[in-house]
A and B are shown apart, each in its own frame.
Chain A
Amino acid sequence: MAEAFKFELVSPERLLVSEQVESVVIPGAEGEMTVMAHHAPVMTTIKPGVVTVKTAAGGEERYVVFGGFADIVPAGCTLLAESAVAVKDVDRADLARRIQEAREDAADAKDDQARSKAEQFLSQLTTLEGAILPA
């Protein structure tokens, strides 16, 4: 059994998780990464996706996050999410609304850079929707 470390998932509204965990899978901006105890200090932004938490007790929890960033130090990991909900509580209508908004953003982006950014965000959202819908 792997060593446990402290993981915190914080959204602006509240502290969602603060407990000892075995590993956490984070949807980093440059690819998914699994964080375990004694990870080298990393700071990364995260894209919309699913965070999978394996608790020290052996359970597994999944949360949907919409952007934010993660602060990883050997002693623990703090995830600051713009908005986070447990997968089982995800509001489909809310997700659909976000996708709709992203689509509008992409449609009326002014320059190429903004457009590619908006399109990237949109594709991340649709991937996310695909990932959690069958759940």
Chain B
Amino acid sequence: MPSLKDLRNRIASVKATQKITKAMQMVAAAKLRRAQEAAEAARPYSERMGSVLANITQAIGGGGDAPALMTGTGKDDVHLLVVCTAERGLCGGFNSQIARLARDHIRKLLADGKQVKIICVGKKGFDILRRDYASMIIDRVDLREVKTLGFVNADAIAKKVIHLFNEGGFDICTLFYSQFKSVISQIPTAQQIIPAGVASAPAEAIDGGNAVYEYEPEPGEILSDLIPRNISVQVFRALLENVAGEMGAKMSAMDNATRNAGDMINKLSITYNRQRQAQITKELIEIISGAEAL
């Protein structure tokens, strides 16, 4: 049985923890709003990019001059996985969900006899995957110093990937990130970015209808400029979704923690009060029985 002093100390420490988790929850809520705004602001660009790409692919019509980034190398031997996770923990199952999806994917690829390479974006994913697949991790990107995620960060990652592709480092590249659905639900997602899956051009009329475009310079040239940019955009979008997802997960995790701490304080207070009462009773009995003995 812990003494009264021990109990008092524990209650004080749980109270301190509760204050911290509550503060973290509020910080996460504020950051979540900002992250959501950023994700929203980035949406027009990727939408336009998608429609332009669809237009231009139609114009080329799957001609022979489509760049390799789009058609792929024609092989399927070496896979590159870009695993995007958060830099910090304390956000529930957020990081482990992404890592689990990546791990399942890796296991399947290895079982098929493929070669796997991994680029980790974010510290947590690296920490998790390092345990099992340390030899496959070829690079890691640290975004910890980055306060507000800019396009340049995504661009740097995309350039790395494209550079590796041009050197023949891999055949297929898949991006792992967490799709932000709502504050309480983030869906880990795998998305193939090389070869780009824009072949399924939506047939919807893009403003201007089926007008015949003039291209300046040639469509092939534009396309070879566009595809790398599209990859950067995809990475950027994944990172933004990740930030929003991380904050959402952190918010609910911290909310849970705050509530747990509250429960714990209640329980400890009851024990504390009972024990104090027991002690008082004991002392009274001692005094009374002492008086009776006289």
Binding site for B on A (CB under 8 A): 8, 10-15, 28-30, 40-45, 68-69, 71, 73-76, 78, 80, 82-83
Contact = CB atoms under 8 A, between A and B. Distances in A.
Interface string B32-48: 00000010011011101
B180 interface: no
A12 B213 contact: no
Nearest to B38: A13
A42 B217 CA distance: 10
B213 A45 contact: no
B151 A69 contact: no
B214 A69 contact: no
Q: How large is the interface on B (under 10, 10 to 19, 20 to 34, 35 or more residues)?
A: 20 to 34
B41 A76 contact: no
Contacts of B46: 12
A28 B207 contact: no
Contacts of B215: 42-44
Contact of B44 (A15, A44, A45): A15
A6 B36 CA distance: 27
A10 B207 contact: no
A39 to B, nearest CB: 10
B226 interface: yes
Contact of B217 (A8, A45, A78, A83): A45
Sorted nearest first, the 7 A-B pairs with minimum C-beta distance are A73-B208, A14-B41, A12-B151, A44-B216, A41-B211, A41-B213, A42-B214
A3 B1 CA distance: 86
B263 interface: no
Nearest to B40: A14
A12 B50 CA distance: 13
Nearest to B222: A45
B261 interface: no
Interface string B226-249: 100100110010000000000000
A12 B42 CA distance: 5
A73 B213 CA distance: 8
Nearest to B213: A41
B50 to A, nearest CB: 11
Contacts of B38: 13
A43 B56 contact: yes
A8 B217 CA distance: 22
Interface of B: 38, 41-42, 44-46, 48-49, 52, 55-56, 150-151, 154-155, 207-208, 211-217, 219, 221-222, 225-226, 229, 232-233, 236
B217 A73 contact: no
A12 B208 contact: no
A73 B211 CA distance: 8
A73 B233 CA distance: 23
Given A14-B41, A45-B217, A71 B52 contact: yes
Given A11-B151, A83-B151, 16 more contacts: A8-B48, A12-B45, A12-B46, A12-B151, A12-B154, A13-B41, A13-B42, A15-B41, A29-B216, A30-B216, A41-B211, A42-B214, A43-B213, A43-B216, A43-B219, A43-B222
Contacts of A68: 229
Contact of B207 (A40, A69, A75): A75
24 contacts: A8-B44, A10-B44, A11-B45, A11-B151, A12-B45, A12-B233, A14-B42, A15-B44, A41-B208, A41-B211, A41-B213, A42-B213, A42-B215, A43-B213, A43-B215, A43-B216, A43-B219, A43-B222, A45-B216, A45-B222, A74-B211, A82-B151, A82-B155, A83-B151
B8 to A, nearest CB: 52
A85 to B, nearest CB: 12
Contacts of B216: 28-30, 42-45
Given A45-B222, A71-B52, A80-B49, A40 B41 contact: no
A71 B208 CA distance: 10
Contacts of A8: 44, 48
B151 A71 contact: no
